[in-house]
Amino acid sequence: MVICYNICNLVLPELGEKLVEYHKNETKVRYIRKRKSRAAPIFGLWLFLLFCCLLAAYFFLNSTYFSVKSIAVKGNTLLSADEVISISGLSLGTNIFKLNVQEAVVKIETHPYIRNVKVLRKLPQMLILDVYERHPCAYVLGQDSFIAVDNEAIYLYKTLDIKDKLFPIISGVIVADNLRPGGDIKTPGLSSALELIGLLDEVFLNNVAEIIAQTPESLVLKTIQGVEVRFGKPEELERKVNIIQELLIGNGSVINDQTVEYIDLRYNTAPVIKRKN
């Protein structure tokens, strides 16, 4: 090749340069082909190993190792653990990754006692249902029964007997005949009454017999001692609650149904106390 190049270089200089350039390109192409021929088996091996890993992971994740063996329930007091699990539709033996968690959440939250729930997977074989229940805080007087409601005015259950009265009674609220547990019976008057109950401390709350809540502007509270407290508009409700609690808790022997007809808090002044003659 060198002799050929020398001859060509002497006779045809341009042809000699082209031959050298061709030789260089040919050498480069052979080198690239050689590298590709070596890389092809390695790339194929990596693809095969990746496929094997994915296949092994698929069979492992779908094996009985991830079958649900136990379901725990947290936060429940009104419903038993078995009741919550039954409502959820979840069952043992199901693969933990194939569970329809959102469907279970929807089913559980349809129960009137449940405000919300979280379904947690604890790998490899356990589910945790973390529930947040609705708790009754008052009885709404219906046409022929008492309806227990929570602080959001959600209908929880109906009862005919409240001889062991656990919560204040709210009257003056219109309840639809077709309302069922889980329904919302919010009215402006009821919402104000529930707000009032939320502000009262436990000691005072135990002395509340009834709250009349026909409208927010006409809230009236009656104590078990027979004293009527007129709150009026639900403005500055917290201030009014503090006044009446200090007044009644500290002066129960003086302010009662024998001495006082009503206490009026409807005005931005000191409470007006109407005494009996």
- Give me the residue spans of the domains in the chain: 16-52, 64-133, 138-275
Among 108, 159, 116, CA closest to 134: 116
pLDDT at 19 over 90: no
The residue ranking higher by pLDDT, 102 or 6, is 102
pLDDT at 48: 77
CATH topology of domain 64-133: Ubiquitin-like (UB roll) (3.10.20)
Highest mean pLDDT among 21-25, 41-45, 154-158: 154-158
Per cent of the chain over pLDDT 70 is 85
pLDDT at 18 over 70: no
pLDDT at 66: 92
Q: Model confidence over 26-77: pLDDT tens digits?
A: 555 554 555 555 556 777 778 878 888 888 777 777 888 999 999 999 999 9
Among 97, 87, 89, 92, CA closest to 70: 92
pLDDT at 176 over 80: yes
pLDDT at 45: 77
The residue ranking higher by pLDDT, 153 or 247, is 153
Highest mean pLDDT among 23-32, 149-158, 228-237: 149-158
How confident is residue 10, by pLDDT bands cut at 50, 70 and 90? very low
Among 173, 256, 240, 243, CA closest to 207: 256
pLDDT at 40: 60
Q: Model confidence over 198-221: pLDDT tens digits?
A: 999 988 898 899 999 999 999 999
pLDDT at 269 over 60: yes
138-275 maps to CATH 3.40.50.10960: yes
What are the structure tokens assigned to 202, written together?
Answer: 């436990």
pLDDT at 9 over 90: no
pTM metric for this prediction: 0.75
In this prediction, residues 223-245 reach a mean pLDDT of 90
Q: Model confidence over 82-120: pLDDT tens digits?
A: 999 999 999 999 999 999 999 999 999 999 999 999 999
